Amino acid sequence: MFSRSQASKANNDVDISNNKMSTICENVEQNGNNNNYNVNEDDVVTSNVAPTTNRRNSRLSIRGFGSILGKKRDERKFSLYQLTNESLPRLDNYRASKRNIKRPSIGEMHGEPGREQRLPIPDPLSETGTTTGHSVKLGWIMGVMIPCLLNIWGVMLFLRLSWVIGESGILQTLAIIAISAVVCVVTTLSLSAICTNGEVKSGGVYFIISRSLGPEFGASVGVVFAFANAVAASMNTIGFCESLNDLLKQNDLKIIDNGINDIRIVGVCAILLLTFICCVGMEWETKAQNFLLATIIIAIFNFLIGAAIGPLGNEEYISKGFVGFSWDVFKENFGSDYRFSEGVQQNSFSVFAIYFPSVTGIQAGANICGDLKDPGAAIPKGTFWALLISMSSYVIFTFFAGSAAVRDASGNVADLVNGSIISSSLPCKLNNTCEFGLANSYSVMQLMSLWEPLIYAGCFAATLSTALTNLLSVPRLVQALGIDQIYPGLIFFSKPYGKHGEPYRGYVLTFIISAGFLLIGQLNVIAPLISTFYLASYALINFCTFHAAFVKPLGWRPTFKYYNLWLSLFGFLLCIVIMFLIDWMASLITLVIIFALYLVVMYRKPEANWGSTTQAQQYKATLTSVYRLQNVSDHVKNYNPQVLVLSGDPKIRPPLIDFGYLLTKQNSLMFVGNILPKSIGYKNSQKIIKEGQKYLDERKIKAFYTLIDGFNMDDGVKIMAKCTGLGKMSPNIVLIGYKNNWFNCRKEEVETYFNILYNSFSQRLGVVILRLNNGLDFSGVKLECTTPTTPMQDFQIVRTFGFNNPVSVASVTASELLHVDSNLNLASLDTPNIGIAESEPNLVDLNEFNENRNDNSNDSVNTLRSNMLTVFTRKQPKSTIDVFWLYDDGGLTMLLPHIISMRSNWKQCDLRIFALSHGKDEKAEEKSMANLLIKFRIQYSELIMLKGLSDRPKLETINKHKSLIQNFCQQATNEFSITEHELRSLEEKTWRQLRIHELIVEYSFKASLVVMSLPMPRREAISTPLYMSWLEMLTTDIKCPIVLARGNQTPVLTFYS
């Protein structure tokens, strides 16, 4: 640290005149919670003093001037931001928004060159300028408890509860309330657990289920739940209209017929008015809810006081069924008395179906969770209090109504006996024409109240408040579905308007649906349908909690602890059972609708990744399966070819990948490998892997793309073969393309190619080589699904030279190893980060090279290359697959063509089997071979035993082979050469390969595919050029694709059951 005098001497150019000597703000001002520290640049004096070390940065320079102000070192305070690049744990560092920019990346912390670009996480709309929520945030009372109470105290409280008591009796009514309460309490426990497991945004039940079980379940149930809420709004509005009709009827008033048409007219107007109130905003909604709740509470106490006081001798009230508290009435109403009502013979389940919508308000708080201050705390607390208050009120109502009113009454004072009513002796009871009483009239509550108009006001408030809550929740849910872009049809209705993001289009859609169902005009017809919808959504809420608690992902940490996974499972099963007991047909329709919506999401595959428990379950199930598979011994009957395709960039060699997928499709596992000799860094490697995997996915090829960088080809293949996969899910076959240019490329390339084959067998892997007539490189051909090219995809290759070229370097890189016609062009990337020297003279652009080559080629060659590009993906005509099963390698040479022949595009190609014989008894050997194929259950069209294999090849074949190896025989002193001794000692084997070539050309000139046994590469027994000449002679002069295959000498076929 510099002293003041040292700084002054060293920095004579600092202007301190006019008292403008700058100051250092060492106690840095903190900006919000983001750890932003602001230093006023105008106040900082920059020093010309040379730093004592090269690592001194601007922060150290700032500290150096602390002594200028005369502070002692111990007295100065520095912010953590000045001392380190580390960031402190703060909320904004974990927020899913663009504010997540302060935590340094691992590249910055690790000291990697260049500043990494942080990937921005898209903002939820609630955290950006365009919000879907409201500026008015509500607590647990105003935001949860009151909406739940208003939703539960709906149409059933004043219009249907008395009818339920009349049908089911006091005991069964209490049972219905108890069952409903159990469903609601268990669902509330599950809902509370989910809501406290992280922040809950706008979307209600859809948001909860989709973020727990995934978009498929969440979206399907969300649509059904939104539809149920819209229909529930119409149901409650119908209840309001029925009550209004009764009031008008008492005063001899009507609009049209004082019936269903009046309900339709008034109902549509009421829904339109409620929709307008919702559009105004949360402030008006809150004011309206407070007024409605106060009215309902006054009406409830009005009923309780009136029932407690009794009719006070009013014979008119008594004749209509209100007799006051009586033990006899209680006993008479204690049991059930189901009747034919509303066009249906009622029973306990039909009555339960009509009653259950009255307790479906527990989700009211979750529906507007985006408008809550703290949804995680408000939803459990407010919902439980609402349940406790509402269920208590329903129980009290049941006892009061069941103890003070009779089931049947005529309304005729003359039917009274000594001022009391005897239901069993009423004339209307005998012919079922009674118009009053619990079982016949929906207005018993008004009759029993202290002041009748207050009950009408309470009924109006209860029905309209519930309808208001339903109308408020549906557009929010539709907007959440549209924002997530799950169903395209809902995107139009999710557009936000205004500073609060009001979904006005969603309100229009909700109005249309509600008004449409309101035209039905019959409350008891709509209620059972709503019950099944609500029960289905409640069932999935319970299943969400059970699934999350059962799978137990690390992200499942709800702060609400009073839940149990088995209780949630019980709630799920209970909801399903009640659904089918209520109406099995409606339940089936509901489940079919949910399943259809589920399939739509599955088909569209939206790009939604919310960390659902289904993903966690998939991971755990896969992990468990891999563990179990690891402990299962391999069996030949369960053998599957697990292929490692050494293709390099998958876009360059599509036929090689197509052939690999032809072997593994729907049966097995495939890896696509790429090896880069240069170390390209984490970001570049991940980008290449992502683009390669995207290419495979676009072509609907189920494979895993893997990349190894920073190793030469030989070591890279060894590492990839050993490390790719997991446990038993590892490759057992290496698929590689044939190296067409082996005779005129660098010797290191050929040696590496030979080593790949040799090392694969050393690791007990099977080897398959694919050769096409004009090579495998199709980099100049544009496929329809090819993604747009980027600088990262501009691969380069090195021009190849002969073995004696003096400028050839000894080191083998991927670009040097592989010619443009080979299958392993694993050249490095054309980016500055990879470190390829721009001045190197032997680099050419691969795409440009291929374009020039294609321009110089004639039309027939282009047509042939186009045919070869799609040879393994197009339908093959009637032809044959010729299999030269020359040596017993365990059966892989026979199994691969059998797999190909079962594919739909190759079903018209019959298998022709060619085999060798020892020459002693050819007929017996042919019979033995045929018997073996029958036992293996291999379907073939023809079996041909090859003859004359020991004959001398034709002279032209021999001369062709000699010209092929001529350059390698001229340098006897070169270790990469073929000696005369080797030629003489292996002459018989060489001639056998030449004879096989002649037989293949003779028999298979019309075949669609040729599969033959691969000669074993023995490093100690044969030189690389001679072995490559064998492969060249075996695969040349054949127009169709040819496959050289060899297993690892372990059986892959068996005839045992």
Give the pLDDT band (50/70/90) at residue 511: very high
Give the pLDDT band (50/70/90) at residue 970: low
Q: pLDDT above 90 covers what percent of the chain?
A: 34
State the pLDDT at residue 690.
Answer: 93
Element of type H or E holding 64: helix 58-64
Give the pLDDT band (50/70/90) at residue 792: very low
State the pLDDT at residue 846.
Answer: 30
What's the average model confidence in pLDDT over 95-108? 61
DSSP letter string, 181-245:
HHHHHHHHHHHHHHHTSS---TTHHHHHHHHHH-HHHHHHHHHHHHHHHHHHHHHHHHHHHHHHH
Q: Does residue 284 surpass a pLDDT of 60?
A: yes
Half-sphere exposure of 162 (CA within 13 A, CB side): 28
Residues 6+ apart with CB under 8 A from 734: 643, 644, 646, 717, 721, 756, 760, 765, 766, 767, 768
Q: What SS3 state is found at 916?
A: strand
Q: pLDDT above 70 covers what percent of the chain?
A: 78
Q: Does residue 207 surpass a pLDDT of 60?
A: yes
Give the pLDDT band (50/70/90) at residue 746: confident
Q: Nearest to residue 771, comparing CAs of 1012, 959, 998?
A: 1012
State the pLDDT at residue 1035.
Answer: 93
* β-bridge pairing 879-885 and 1009-1013: parallel
Q: Does residue 797 surpass a pLDDT of 60?
A: no
State the pLDDT at residue 897.
Answer: 94
Give the pLDDT band (50/70/90) at residue 194: confident
Of 257-271, 414-428, 536-550, 647-661, the least confident: 414-428
Helix (DSSP H) and strand (DSSP E) numbers for the chain: 38, 16
Cα distance between residue 827 and residue 815, in whole Å: 4
Cα distance between residue 694 and residue 545, in whole Å: 34
State the pLDDT at residue 94.
Answer: 63
Q: Does residue 731 surpass a pLDDT of 50?
A: yes
Q: What SS3 state is found at 627?
A: helix
| Contact in structure between 1045 and 768 (CB atoms under 8 Å) | yes
**Tokens read off for 446:** 């008004």
Q: Does residue 825 surpass a pLDDT of 50?
A: no
State the pLDDT at residue 157.
Answer: 83
State the pLDDT at residue 322.
Answer: 93
What's the average model confidence in pLDDT over 637-646? 92
| pTM for the structure as a whole | 0.70
State the pLDDT at residue 975.
Answer: 57
What's the average model confidence in pLDDT over 881-888? 93
Give the pLDDT band (50/70/90) at residue 8: very low
Q: Does residue 39 surpass a pLDDT of 70?
A: no
Cα distance between residue 490 and residue 482, in whole Å: 5
State the pLDDT at residue 323.
Answer: 92
Element of type H or E holding 736: strand 733-737
Rounded to the nearest 5°, which phi and psi values hold at 631? -95, 5
Rounded to the nearest 5°, which phi and psi values hold at 336? -90, 160
Q: Nearest to residue 467, comparing CAs of 272, 303, 207?
A: 272
Q: Does residue 47 surpass a pLDDT of 70?
A: no
Give the pLDDT band (50/70/90) at residue 783: low
Helix, strand, coil fractions of the chain, as percent rounded to 5: 55, 10, 35
State the pLDDT at residue 193.
Answer: 87
| Contact in structure between 450 and 306 (CB atoms under 8 Å) | yes
pLDDT digits (tens, 9 = 90+) for 308-341: 999 988 888 999 999 999 999 999 999 999 988 8
CA distances from 718 to 119, 675, 811, 833, 982 (A): 34, 11, 17, 26, 29
Q: What SS3 state is found at 857?
A: coil
What's the average model confidence in pLDDT over 602-609? 78
State the pLDDT at residue 660.
Answer: 94
Q: Looking at per-residue confidence, does 209 or 17 come out higher? A: 209
State the pLDDT at residue 11.
Answer: 42
Which of 37-51, 312-326, 408-422, 793-807 is most confident?
Answer: 312-326
Q: Does residue 256 surpass a pLDDT of 60?
A: yes
Total Cβ atoms within 10 A of residue 18: 6
Average pLDDT, the chain: 79
State the pLDDT at residue 192.
Answer: 86
Q: Nearest to residue 361, comparing CAs of 398, 389, 401, 399?
A: 389
